Structure 1
Amino acid sequence: MSRQVVELKNVSKKIGSKTIIDDISFNVYSGEVFGFLGPNGAGKTTTIRMIVGLMKLSSGDIIVNGKSVKSDFEGAVSQVGAIVENPEMYKFMSGYKNLIHYSRMYKGISKEKIDEVVKLVGLQGRIHEKVKTYSLGMRQRLGIAQSLLHDPKVLILDEPTNGLDPAGIREIRDYIRRLARERDMAVIVSSHLLSEMEMMCDRIGIIQHGKLKDVQLISDFVGEQSKVYKLEVSNPAQIADSMRQSFPSWEIQLVGQDLLINCTKEDIPSIIKWCVEENISVYGALVAAKTLEDRFLEVTSDKKGEPVHV
């Protein structure tokens, strides 16, 4: 059963008279990948810095595995493993020697523990080669191995797929999901790659102007919409107006060569029947599910409806 590992309680950060983070609260649970999204300057990195102890809170508190960042800083931060952008390591040394060097920061990390994290991130075949021969994806995996040496309860990755090719992105995504599942860890991922977040995360939180706009399951977040069906027909531009007259209660839009119809599933047979009677060829009818990017732009639109660029 999942348990709460990270809790942000009414967290705010002010620098001078400017409020950077404004009273945000959310929880992250064991075994889940939590996606943290927001336009540039929204406050993602500031929030992460406060969780890992690189920046003090102005008010509120952050609880990591039952320990408060404010009252038990060392106890809380010891539960966290983190990589901010590209992990730093000694390129002239082997991956294994980098891990040995890093392990000296903690007490009691055995050779068996190092071998365990190497196997976990799939670097057994290359771990004794120099880091300068590694691809960017392999360096990211080595960075994850470094962050796992002290058995943290939460792993925080800031832009973990930044600069990777599609194969590397998929590789890192698979390892992140595997870590959450097999190690029962809470994983927080910050990224601007919306399609990757959709495939990687269980839940997502959106922050804008320092305020938390929404926290939802990915499935609910993407699926939160009125039912819109995409109808592939012959000559869509010519029949759109006629269809609107026949079905005045439905919102019908022409997008490219497709008709998007806001209706119920039960209405689809009537629409297809109408098309057949009007000698219109129907090539397909399916739910036009919104992508994460569509929902993200909806949530982060300004008052005029214009999207805030990310």
Structure 2
Amino acid sequence: MQTPAWLSDIELVTFDCFGTLMDWRRGLEQVEIRSEEDFKAFRQVTRKRQEGDRHHLYSQILKESIRELKPDLRAAVVGLFADDFGRMPCFKDAPGSLAALKDLVEVGVLSNCDANHQLDVISTLRVAWDVCVTSQEIRSYKPSDRAWDAIVRMGVARTAATRDSWLHVSAFDKTDLLPARSRGLKTCFLQRPGGDDKATSDLTINSLTELVTLLMNAKAGPVVYEIQTQVPQSHDIEEVASWLTADLMPRMRDVVGLRDTQLVETEPTILVERYTFGGQRDVESYLEAFGAEHRAMVRERFGEIERTTSTYRVKGRA
């Protein structure tokens, strides 16, 4: 599959949980939901109980739904299943793929479940979410507008992502992909057993390893971090250029992942520093470790000088 150009701009990847990361078809076997007919009935019954203005914990919805579908099951079995819903098996590609994605982007989960369910999921997947939103926290269930409006608001507030740099991945169209896309997020349909047969999305994949490969290709370097300095009338452009060349830029050459530095005078009052890094993560590591320090050095030397930054990937190079 050809790597979509927009993937290089993605900074946050979020996932639906049950049915996308966790194999709920296998998990539901614990309460004798095995046939396709039973599974469809389970989805319909639980979804109906999620509707309305009054919020109910997902564990309670599970208990009531299983009792309706499987009235002969012992109450203890139903209760244990509902409370331990997050301990079901995950899809085999999930833990390793999430670990790989963490090296490329921020990752998160948007799940119709209780907080304790998500704690068990974290233990199974061995992942530290950058953002985690459960239906218990927002007191609403996907795909309601109330739920998705809260999800987007929290996702933007808790990460560095914008809607343009956010990709949501799910095996379900109505509950996830359609409402996510309508709110300006990029969407990825992950085909899973027990998921929808088709969906409207920006990207369709058969496995999470496929998504990792695509993002690795999209995030492959080199990446140029560019700083444009507007030299004020109070300073001579040669003075600023001399200081950058003799003081600041030599410090940059010791930064891990930096491949090249360049200083260009594009206009009589504008200097452009170009720092070529191995990849986007190298840029982020530099900014986290040294960005504030280097900005302070410039302010100390020249005062509140106007400096704007941008990053872009160098096409066709490795």
Scaled by the length of structure 2, the TM-score of the pair is: 0.29
Scaled by the length of structure 1, the TM-score of the pair is: 0.30
Higher strand share: 1
Higher relative contact order (CA 8 A, sep 6+): 1
